[in-house]
Structure 1
Amino acid sequence: MATSGLAGGRIAASAGSNLLGQHAVDRNQDHTVYVGNLDPQVTEEVVWEAFVQAGPVVNVYVPKDRVSNAHQGYAFVEYRGEDDADYAIKVLNMIKLYGKPIRVNKAAQDAKKSNEVGANLFVGNLDAELDEKLLYDTFSAFGVVVTTPKIMRDPDTGNSRGFGFVSYDSFEAADAAIEAMNGQFLCNRPISVTFAYKKDTRGERHGTPAERMLAANADKKATAHRPHTMFAAGPAQGQRQGQPVAGV
């Protein structure tokens, strides 16, 4: 259900709440933050109440499955101004809602997905008290962490099993994290940091030369398709049509 405005202190539902494309067009993307890793218990009201603490909220949109009506684990929050959105990212990223640390970043951000890059790390020998926020704060120093770090936990008790995973948007960031953090002490325990094993493979880890080559080729293609903007604002001052450019 999308939300728009307050009615009697609550959120008033707007029409067309399942039309993600329509809402994406209506939203001011520069004023909007993406909120990920939401617990199933989180509602539009909970998101609103959490994010209005950072500034005036214009709209909250939580996409839902058309069949089950359950939300899909993420939301969009539009603020009145871009400064409010930036402040929300600063103060609300990695806070916990129903025990799960949420991921908050700009909705317009064009970050590469970790499963497209493969720069995924295994972090072992974690202290039982270490949480996802500390893991994020530690490893985000080396590059862009594209998804909320995941600490594996016992499904019954919720206690940490002593290891987790961190995914970057580039192998350069992953390499830097391994070099700096493998064997370092975190919460008084020396942690191990290596590339994670790939799913559905027999012991093959991420970070292989082939995987790096694919990522590099993807970057080249993305660069090649970017519009050429050198003269987007028109010719430089003093140049006239038909006048040669010095040095050419």
Structure 2
Amino acid sequence: MAYPYDQNQQGHFSQDVNGGLHQESAAQGMPPQQQPIQPGLPENGSPASFAQQGVVDGSGSSVTGDAKTTLWMGELEPWIDENFIRSVWFGMGETVNVKMIRDKFSGNAGYCFIDFNSPAAAAKALSLNGSMIPNTSRPFKLNWASGGGLADRRDDRGPEFSIFVGDLGPEVNEYVLVSLFQARFPSCKSAKIMTDPISGMSRGYGFVRFANEQDQQRALNEMQGVYCGNRPMRISTATPKNKSGVPGVPVNMPMAPQNSIGAAPGMYGMGAPPPMGYYGAPQPMNQFTDPNNTTVFVGGLSGYVTEDELRSFFQGFGEITYVKIPPGKGCGFVQFVQRHAAEMAINQMQGYPIGNSRVRLSWGRSQNNSGPAGTPYRPAPPPPQYNAMGMSPAQHFAQYQQIQ
């Protein structure tokens, strides 16, 4: 594929293969708002006022200066690189610096930072949000690189405390989500909404990170059922970055919105929608088979789903040993390091839409109680106890008992 730019125009920015950023969060220490603000807008209603100063440090390169000149650009197609981004903005009369942030598994750049010459140029560029990117099939996804999290900045020098936020409507973006929480919790650092790697559409859930554990605990209680956009949010805990090594790993993965579309005919009978959104009742925990089995069988996969894409749907449950999709079989296998991660995946991804079909999950065949050849044997620890699958008694799954 030929692109309208010169590969020799590569600038001084080096690629960060780990996708890591190291930046002092500007959101930390922000004074608490006395009055609730409209979700998605700062107190004075101006997106520009939400931008704050900060430094983005990459691997051997940096974008430094006032954050009012820096935009976040997300949901990029896999082939897009720094040169293409620069060529797009050069065609609009802007000379920019670009820093790509690459996924550590696939190497693809999910988003980038763009630094403009002036705040006016950045504000003008932001007005293109939603319009089509030249020579691509996707629209611009732009926002101010502010508050530490709209661009998902990392600060590895301090602890982080995360929560999972589910039942988000398609109208909710990261700016709306982080603004809602920062209005009430001064230590809120970031918000990340998970998107489908193919369509770029929101998966209906995300994560919010805090620098202060008290704010995290307050948010778990106070934000349960609070409306964000057109729907009430469902809140539960997520594993802290410093403990898991992966920021935002959820303790309880999302349940789909209650007004989800129905399941495919035959999956739940006569095409009726599954109970409680995408998911049915919890699956049995394989009590009479190999207790060390950590392999999940994923059936009903569409033909164009890749192993990297399949991994992206399951990596939030825990560390994955391998992902395999046999050619032409319409199924795949995901093996976790720990047993309880596989159990959660089976329970909570049953019937979830991946690609253009809903998947069927069950236990796969273990390979010598472990992973592929050469993987060390790891006895599975006892599964954790979940209080009504991590939700308050008022939530939809309260009628189920704890997983034993």
TM-score by length of 1: 0.47
TM-score by length of 2: 0.33
